Amino acid sequence: MQQEIRIGVIALTDSAPFVVAQKTGFFEAENLTVELIKQASWATLRDKLAYGEIDAAHMLSPMAIALQLGLGGSPKKDVLAPLVLNRSGNAITVSKALAALISGLVEGETLGSALRAAKSRGERVMVFGTVFPFSMHTLQLRRWLRLNDVDPDQDVRFEVVPPIRMVGSLQAGLIDAFCVGEPYNSLAVNEGLGTIVATSNGLWPKAPEKVLGCTRAWAQENPEAMTGLTNALRRACLWLEGGMENRSKAAAWLSTSDHVNLPGSVLEMALLATIKGGTDPFIQFDGAELTEDQRPMFESLVVETHALTSSRPLDAIQFASGLKPFGF
């Protein structure tokens, strides 16, 4: 008997494991009938998962921590994130004007010093777009800003923008830069609107980007479906790592209006090629079991995610709770 599962996804290249599992019959082989439901924003996806309107989700790894700890007004839910779907896949893209400012910096000058000087002259503070407060995008933006002598809390302003609106916001001048997943960095470059200045793998190598997420209650009520879902997505990740021909097929499937709705050639920039001088395909799909040697990376993720809302250190109970979704 087939079990029906509703999965919330965002229109991004790294939603590929869900689309692949559906197109190749991996879900069906596990006796699952899956409906992939595109969500308008990460906040919408979070709330629908928390309140049971969807069963599982294409989830930001820090979102699992925010839900578990109830950070920043997030509903507090006991969640599971048993599978890392991909490592890397984000980039930071800046407007032409900001790219010109960066390239024009003279010896002894930093981006931070230039922005502080502009602020002292009464010029507007630059705005950096991120997809969700609790995301690798926010953490990676903050890392990049600090590397460039910019105080992320004082020298710039952050604005949450859904991925699908990021390029349009840059074009309209509503933001000066953004960190987003593919294909929207490639789209901005293709349309001559921006320049990629950093990639997620350069800022935080092998960091967990998207995970399979669900509430612990749903997983406990549906153990066979949970096992089947994990198995199907693990097979899909392995399939995506099985060569360029498979990735080309995935780009074609993702390009349709049901999914990302952009040309396959744009999607292939991250799936087949490298971005910003890398040597491997820009997105690495995972699906492997989380092992104890990965604990330090997830511990850092819990600490940095919590620090987005509080300067007070985590206590031992909060720290352990933040690791709980990942099985540590």
pLDDT of residue 279: 57
Task: Look at residue 116 and tell me whether its pLDDT is greater than 90.
Answer: yes
Q: What are the C-alpha distances in Å from 36 to residues 118, 306, 326?
A: 46, 30, 23
Q: Residue 276's pLDDT band (boundaries 50, 70, 90)?
A: low
Task: Look at residue 280 and tell me whether its pLDDT is greater than 80.
Answer: no
- Mean predicted confidence (pLDDT) in 287-308: 94
pLDDT of residue 319: 96
Q: Residue 211's pLDDT band (boundaries 50, 70, 90)?
A: very high
Query: What is the average pLDDT value for the chain, to the nearest integer?
Result: 94
- Mean predicted confidence (pLDDT) in 130-155: 97
pLDDT of residue 203: 92
- Mean predicted confidence (pLDDT) in 225-239: 98
- What would the pLDDT profile of 28-39 be if each residue is shown by its tens digit? 999 999 999 999
pLDDT of residue 145: 98
DSSP state of 162: -
Q: Which three-class secondary structure state does DSSP give residue 218? A: helix
2 Cβ contact list (under 8 Å, min separation 6) = 28, 31, 32, 33
- Mean predicted confidence (pLDDT) in 74-97: 94
205: exposed, middle or buried (C-beta count within 10 Å: 0-12, 13-18, 19+)?
exposed
Q: Residue 278's pLDDT band (boundaries 50, 70, 90)?
A: low
pLDDT of residue 47: 95
Least confident among 57-61, 237-241, 264-268, 279-283 = 279-283
d(CA 301, CA 308): 11
- Mean predicted confidence (pLDDT) in 104-116: 95
- Cα dihedral value 299, 303, 304, 307, nearest 10: 170
Phi, psi torsion values for 316, nearest 5 degrees: -60, -35
Cβ distance 224 to 3 under 8 Å?
yes
Strands 127-130 and 177-181: parallel
d(CA 20, CA 205): 25
Tokens 């709770």 appear where?
A: 321
How many C-beta atoms surround the C-beta of residue 2 within 10 A?
Answer: 11
d(CA 126, CA 115): 8
Catalogue all structural domains in the chain, each as residue range(s) with its CATH number: 3-87+208-271+281-326 (3.40.190.10), 90-203 (3.40.190.10)
